[in-house]
Amino acid sequence: MLGGMSQIAHRFRPFGTSIFAEMSALAAAHKAVNLAQGFPDFDGPEVATHGAVEAIRAGKGQYAPMTGVPPLREAVAAAWQRDGRGSIDPEAHVTVTSGCSEGLVAAYLGLLNPGDEVVIFEPYFDFYVTCAAMAGATPRFVRLNPPSSSTGAFTFDEGELRRAFTSRTRAVVVNTPHNPTGKVFSREELSLIADLAQRHHAVVITDEVYEYLTYEAARPHISIATLPGMWERTITLSSLGKTFSLTGWKVGWAVAPEPLSACVRAAHQFLTFCAATPLQHGAAAAIREPGDYPAHLRALYAANRDLLAAALTRAGLTVYPSHGTYFLMADHAALGFADDRAFCTHLTAKVGVAAIPPSVFYHDPAAGKRLARFAFCKKRETIDEAVRRLETLRT
């Protein structure tokens, strides 16, 4: 008898069906406002569409070079310099991937051997753990704890981080701005991570897909690769999706020194070989000429965040500050639900607003049971509708 879980390889069995697919299906079934999966409900900038359509019309329909089309790699290198991160070589240091997702898989598979350990902050973007399973690597978790004040940020315990590093540590994964907490790692925190990575000869894999989505001048985005001694040991991953509201294009890139680019490329050539050629050209156009798109997006999201946070607070949740990304976390414990799944299911089916139960982002699900994650990467009207519906949560 074929079928059921029995056919799935052992490495994927612990993970089941992605929570994003599950909550989006529930949201659709109940016509809920979908603040669960993090994708915008509007389109990206015309410059990107135009660039991609032009590329298709110009017959750029064949495989791209394995490392990415030169205009995109050059645009990524120019943006790196424009952002004050230094001068890099588009040929040697930039590899285009099918979204940051493929960049993650390529970094893990190209770098890690079975038995290696990888330090991961939790709650985590689920790929960090599934990629470890694919590579046969062992995750070591460090908890990000909610702030005790309404102005604070999620923080980790320094001792816990130090203890997570062992003689087997090969990599540490940083994600800043951080999904799902909205944390933007500070220079002090990144310096501590950098120091430990150097002491343990570990590589940092840093996922910076929300690099342009920060909301507080006092908490700017900092790339760990720019800290002293870190360029040599860092793979920086990013993508087009969040910055330009084009999550479905799945165009991403890895920036790394030559020996680490070699690791990414070793795997990338056998994963997808290359991302879609016309979309790479569209991405290049958007990165070259972003105009005021990123600033507009930041302003929209900051206003959405504040509206949503206020509505959730009125509904009786404790909302944690989000300084970056397009997510916020809130504690629903005061409302009396058994756990995060019970709360999110009720919210979706009865209130008509879908959110993600964050227990799936912890290796011990109990750690997330008081929480819910909301995405605010939506049109203002969508957020207004969610706010209206949230008024019924308490009644």
Ligand X SMILES: Cc1ncc(COP(=O)(O)O)c(C=O)c1O
Tell me: does residue 44 bind ligand X (CB under 6 A).
no
**Residue span binding ligand X (CB under 6 A) among the ranges 99-107, 194-202, 218-226, 275-283:** 99-107
- Contacts of 55 by beta carbon, 8 Å cutoff, 6+ apart: 277, 278, 280, 281, 282
Min dist CB 177 to ligand X, Å, is 9
Helix, strand and coil in the chain, % to nearest 5: 45, 15, 40
Which is nearest to 183 in space by CA: 150, 146, 157, 217?
Answer: 146
**Residue span binding ligand X (CB under 6 A) among the ranges 74-82, 84-92, 191-199, 247-255:** 247-255
Helices (H), the chain: 19-29, 46-57, 70-82, 90-93, 99-111, 127-135, 158-164, 187-199, 258-271, 277-288, 293-314, 340-346, 380-390
Q: Of the candidates 32, 52, 88, 100, which one interacts with ligand X according to CB under 6 A?
A: 100
Q: Of the candidates 24, 67, 101, 234, which one interacts with ligand X according to CB under 6 A?
A: 101
Please report the DSSP string for 329-350 in residue order: EEE-GGG--SSHHHHHHHIIII
Tell me: does residue 207 bind ligand X (CB under 6 A).
yes
In this chain, which residue has its C-beta nearest to ligand X? 99
Tell me: does residue 245 bind ligand X (CB under 6 A).
no
- ∠ CA 302-306-312, nearest 5°, is 140
Size of the site for ligand X (CB under 6 A): 14
- ∠ CA 388-389-390, nearest 5°, is 95
Min dist CB 248 to ligand X, Å, is 8
N-to-C CA span, the chain: 49
- CB-nearer residue toward ligand X: 18 or 81: 18
Q: Of the candidates 40, 68, 182, 252, which one interacts with ligand X according to CB under 6 A?
A: 252
Specify the DSSP element, H or E, that contains 136.
none
Which amino acid is it at 7? Q
Q: Of the candidates 239, 245, 261, 280, which one interacts with ligand X according to CB under 6 A?
A: 239
Min dist CB 227 to ligand X, Å, is 20
Task: Record the tokens describing residue 211, joined without a space.
Answer: 């690099």
Distance CA(104)–CA(203), nearest Å, equals 13
- CB-nearer residue toward ligand X: 38 or 321: 38
Phi, psi angles (nearest 5°) of residue 155 = -135, 160
- CB-nearer residue toward ligand X: 173 or 387: 173
Min dist CB 251 to ligand X, Å, is 7
Cβ pair 384, 310 in contact under 8 A: no
Q: Of the candidates 40, 45, 139, 241, which one interacts with ligand X according to CB under 6 A?
A: 241
- CB-nearer residue toward ligand X: 131 or 387: 131
- CB-nearer residue toward ligand X: 45 or 241: 241
Distance CA(14)–CA(349), nearest Å, equals 27
Polymer length of the chain = 395
Tell me: does residue 130 bind ligand X (CB under 6 A).
no
**Residue span binding ligand X (CB under 6 A) among the ranges 94-102, 215-223, 267-275, 368-376:** 94-102
**Residue 212, burial from CB neighbour count under 10 angstroms (0-12, 13-18, 19+):** buried
Q: Of the candidates 175, 214, 272, 322, which one interacts with ligand X according to CB under 6 A?
A: 175
Tell me: does residue 208 bind ligand X (CB under 6 A).
no
Tell me: does residue 125 bind ligand X (CB under 6 A).
yes
Output the CA–CA distances (angstroms, integers) from residue 11 to 104, 132, 137, 215, 340, in the order listed.
17, 10, 11, 38, 26
Q: Of the candidates 32, 35, 38, 253, which one interacts with ligand X according to CB under 6 A?
A: 38
Tell me: does residue 124 bind ligand X (CB under 6 A).
no
Q: Of the candidates 96, 153, 209, 344, which one interacts with ligand X according to CB under 6 A?
A: 209
Min dist CB 45 to ligand X, Å, is 17
Q: Which residues bind ligand X (CB under 6 A)?
A: 38, 99-101, 125, 175, 179, 207, 209, 239, 241, 247, 250, 252
